[in-house]
Structure 1
Amino acid sequence: MSAYVLGHKHPDTDSIISAIAAADLYAKRGVDVVPAAQGKPAPETAFVLERFGLSAPQIVETVAGRELYLVDYSDLAQAPEGMDSATVLGIVDHHKLGDITTSLPLEAWIWPVGCTNTVLTSMYDFYGIEIPRAIAGGMLCAILSDTVMFKSPTCTDADKKAVEKLARIAGVDDVMALGMEMFKVKSAVDGADMRDLVFRDYKDFDMNGHKVGIGQLEVVDLSLLDGVKDGLKQEIARVKAEGRHSVFLLLTDIMKEGSEMLLVSDDPSVVEKAFGVKATGDSVWLDGVMSRKKQVVPNFEKAFK
């Protein structure tokens, strides 16, 4: 039975492309694996898959009894059902080390860079394995997405060097033009279901015993979300009512380089504790905040202590 190479819940482009790339890399090293995902591709990811002729990974809901290689996460909150009987053999990630534990030693590549696919680019180099042209294109897009075209504070020189290498392999002459194409697709929200929008890029976190959900929508112009903002506020209230202490939804304007954060919480004062800005209503503007991983989650974790 093949091992799954699996990304986190509500997969983004990095999560899905990482599963595809890591599965290719592991397979060429003689490991029996298949790429998998915990959900269908979001519009941006679907665009990337079609642009480079890649197939979406199979969708799985349980990993009971399976061997796993995790990509783009190591938190139990982001894992599927059945983890208690699964065996984790490896992790490739760019987030903080989570709370998933293993019964056996594992191969772990966890680097402080802007994207898991940056780590995978170095892994291909380390093992002397050539990156296929189509996969290189997907990896390139994942890095552009996760680093918000190099504007995110999570972006490093390693991410930029990886993009240069991957662009040569994929035959992409203008990476920034490709990035804008992606974000225009990502910005299209007309006709979208409100729950799908909230969960397009969403993660739950355990913060000092409190279940906290944090989602993010990145657009080229915040005004594109004017028509759905009220619907998003209503939806995050419903999501909170499902058993969460707080739900925060970042509406990130990649051109203005900041985020409006919609919020619903049992204790709105955590926003002021985290960012020094008092939340007087159901939203707050956070200038310069673009990264959930580096600027939002750590601040909330401190605020909840």
Structure 2
Amino acid sequence: MPEPIYIFGHKNPDPDAICAPIAYAAYKTAIGQTGYKPARCGNSNARIDMILDYFKTPLPDFIGDVTPRVQDIMATQLHTLAPESTCFRALELIDQYDIRALPVIDDNRVLKGLVSIFDLGGVFVPKPSNPRQLRHVRTSVSAITAALKAKPQHLVDPDTVQDCYVRIGSTSLDTFGKISAQESTPEPQTIVIVGDRHNIQEKALEMGARLIIITGGREPETGILELAKQSNKTSIITSPFDTSATAWIVRAAEFVEPVMKTAIFTCSPDDKLSVAKRKVAQSFAATIPVVDDHGKLVGLFTRGDLSKPVQRKIVLIDHNELSQAVDGACEVQITEVIDHHRLGNPPTGHPILFRNEPVGSSCTIVAEMFRQAGRTPDASIAGLMMSGLVTDTLNLRSPTTTARDADILAWLEPIAKITGDVLSKKIFSSGSVILSMTPDQIVRADCKAYELGDKHYAIAQVEELGLCNFWPKIESLSQALKDYCSSDHLYFAALLVTDINTQNSVLLVEGHEDFIGAIQYPKVSREGTHYPNLFDMPGVVSRKKQLTPYLTGVLESLEG
């Protein structure tokens, strides 16, 4: 099943950044485009919770990072070997599934090694300077029987692993006996491969060979089996292959454990792809096992997998700047952007749908798309879009409000069965953000990050029914802004506190003194206390249209 295309609002979401993705996913479904799912990359707050609860809609899943990771490209349906698997079995799997290497794991799936076709080459192409090694194999009768798919005739200690040497019973009986006498190989370590030559089979039994393999699918004579049972030293099996193929397969019945590489380059499933690429580039690894914290094998990928395009796709809504987007957005495919803010759009590798409208909220844009497509949202989706609209425009009283916002609000009201006035009162009276959050949470809750040249700055905003809850918190909020500047290396951090009743705001700023000194709004004095970093901003209620352009202009004047 393909991964959903997640629709994200910005970090530190306000109601529009939560409601618009939910509504856009519903719009996609309404026009027959499936596979879209709303998500969030920041925490909810009391007002968002109130809105979702009122319209009986669940909070979107939290996804804090979409950075592609090793787990996104690794194969999980794996072909593996055990340490006691044979090299022949390894060759079978490599040939059958056209793979480069096989991981070797124990009974608990802990990675023990890796076997590649190159590692197996040493088994079948030993050094010519040691011809005796050409006949050597360390294995068991059971492993040989399994590799040959042979028929057992008489078995003696079939699971005992030992060093053995292969001999072909193709000479005369006389010569076979002389060679046996000349060689230093003990008979109990000798494997004799022979056809239907009764005399050689009998001689091998007399010598006490470890194993007799009768080739061509021929059955041993009754007398040979009787002799083998009497001595009970020699196993006898019947191979379906001819002598040449049998000899080759017996050599391949070597266990993989002494052949496998144990110094293995591995990755974790949580490793970022960008990090994995750098690590792999510095190694000679062609096949990379993926292990968990306990060393257990969970996946596998190759160098080639790292060059494949990332399949994860996302949609950005209510923002278009990467500094405000979910972590990792720059490393995945952004397929659409729906927004109503200034342009700071990310580069893309291919054309995308980019819709940026000069309206008061992203929910306005989504609602217009419903109406233009001739689709009517259900009551809960209509209510969510109204919520995003009235909070972003302060119920059509913000300077960002347009005639289109008012028109859309009027279209949504009968569908949602609630008026904008009633809804806005419910939302703004649902709880004080300043009382319900810690100072650190307040300055980051509805906060947007910006950059100008090499300077980074952040502007947060909260809306309150009056400022009575704000005054006792000035010192703690100032300290929270200082901490924010320090932790995120900001040139300045600002908090705009808007009084919805009076449509006025105050601005609390911390950061570089030259910037604060360049702000031309009057500083606040209250009850005999002068606040050097608090500014009175009558009529300023919009961060997007009023405050951000002003503060950016102040910063540009200092740069100039």
Structure-1-length-normalised TM-score: 0.94
Distance 1:92 1:43 in 2: 25
The equivalent residue for 1:59 is 62
State the Cα distance separating 1:277 from its structure 2 match.
4.5
Distance 2:545 2:8 in 1: 23
1:108-133 deviations in Å (ceiling 9; x for gaps): 22100100000111111122222111
The equivalent residue for 1:183 is 428
Distance 1:223 1:212 in 2: 27
Distance 1:118 1:9 in 2: 20
Identify the range of structure 1 (115-124 vs 198-207) with the bigger mean alpha-carbon deviation: 198-207
Structure 1 residues without counterparts, runs of 5 or longer? none
- Check whether the contact 2:399–2:542 (CA below 8 A) recurs between aligned residues: yes
- Check whether the contact 1:78–1:204 (CA below 8 A) recurs between aligned residues: yes
**Residue 156 of structure 1 pairs with residue 402 of structure 2:** yes
SS of 2:435's equivalent in the other structure is coil
RMSD: 1.7
State the Cα distance separating 1:190 from its structure 2 match.
2.7
The equivalent residue for 1:217 is 462
**Residue 196 of structure 1 pairs with residue 441 of structure 2:** yes
The equivalent residue for 2:451 is 206
**Structure 1 counterpart of 2:544, one-letter code:** K
The equivalent residue for 1:13 is 15
- Check whether the contact 2:41–2:64 (CA below 8 A) recurs between aligned residues: yes
State the Cα distance separating 1:208 from its structure 2 match.
2.9
1:239-276 deviations in Å (ceiling 9; x for gaps): 11111110110111112211110011214445645x55
State the Cα distance separating 1:85 from its structure 2 match.
2.1
Distance 2:374 2:514 in 1: 51
- Check whether the contact 2:8–2:326 (CA below 8 A) recurs between aligned residues: no
- Check whether the contact 1:271–1:278 (CA below 8 A) recurs between aligned residues: no
Distance 2:521 2:342 in 1: 24
- Check whether the contact 2:515–2:555 (CA below 8 A) recurs between aligned residues: no
Q: How many residue pairs get matched?
A: 303
**Residue 284 of structure 1 pairs with residue 529 of structure 2:** no
Q: 1:236 pairs with 469, 477, 481, which one?
A: 481
**Structure 1 counterpart of 2:17, one-letter code:** S
Distance 2:551 2:345 in 1: 18
**Residue 101 of structure 1 pairs with residue 103 of structure 2:** no
State the Cα distance separating 1:25 from its structure 2 match.
1.1
> Structure 1's 160 and 268: CA in aligned 2 closer, same or farther, altered over 3 A?
farther
State the Cα distance separating 1:186 from its structure 2 match.
4.5
> Structure 1's 188 and 265: CA in aligned 2 closer, same or farther, altered over 3 A?
closer
Distance 1:162 1:224 in 2: 33
**Structure 2 counterpart of 1:127, one-letter code:** A
**Structure 2 counterpart of 1:200, one-letter code:** A
**Residue 26 of structure 1 pairs with residue 55 of structure 2:** no
Distance 1:4 1:178 in 2: 28
1:83-130 deviations in Å (ceiling 9; x for gaps): 232101111111112231211111122100100000111111122222
SS of 1:218's equivalent in the other structure is strand
Structure-2-length-normalised TM-score: 0.52
State the Cα distance separating 1:233 from its structure 2 match.
1.2
Q: 2:507 pairs with 242, 258, 261, which one?
A: 261
Distance 1:210 1:277 in 2: 25
Q: 1:47 pairs with 46, 50, 72, which one?
A: 50
Distance 2:346 2:362 in 1: 18
State the Cα distance separating 1:20 from its structure 2 match.
0.2
> Structure 1's 186 and 159: CA in aligned 2 closer, same or farther, altered over 3 A?
farther
Distance 2:406 2:55 in 1: 20
1:44-100 deviations in Å (ceiling 9; x for gaps): 111000000011111111123420111000001101222232101111111112231
**Structure 2 counterpart of 1:252, one-letter code:** T
> Structure 1's 204 and 186: CA in aligned 2 closer, same or farther, altered over 3 A?
farther
> Structure 1's 223 and 276: CA in aligned 2 closer, same or farther, altered over 3 A?
closer
Distance 2:431 2:402 in 1: 23
**Structure 1 counterpart of 2:37, one-letter code:** V
State the Cα distance separating 1:3 from its structure 2 match.
0.6
The equivalent residue for 2:72 is none
Seq. identity, %: 26
The equivalent residue for 1:130 is 376
SS of 1:77's equivalent in the other structure is helix
Query: Considering only CA atoms, is the larger Rg found in Structure 1 or Structure 2?
Result: 2
State the Cα distance separating 1:41 from its structure 2 match.
1.7
State the Cα distance separating 1:229 from its structure 2 match.
2.3
- Check whether the contact 2:521–2:537 (CA below 8 A) recurs between aligned residues: no
Q: Which runs of 4+ in 1 moved over 3 A?
A: 267-273, 275-280
**Residue 35 of structure 1 pairs with residue 41 of structure 2:** no
Structure 2 residues without counterparts, runs of 5 or longer? 68-309, 525-530
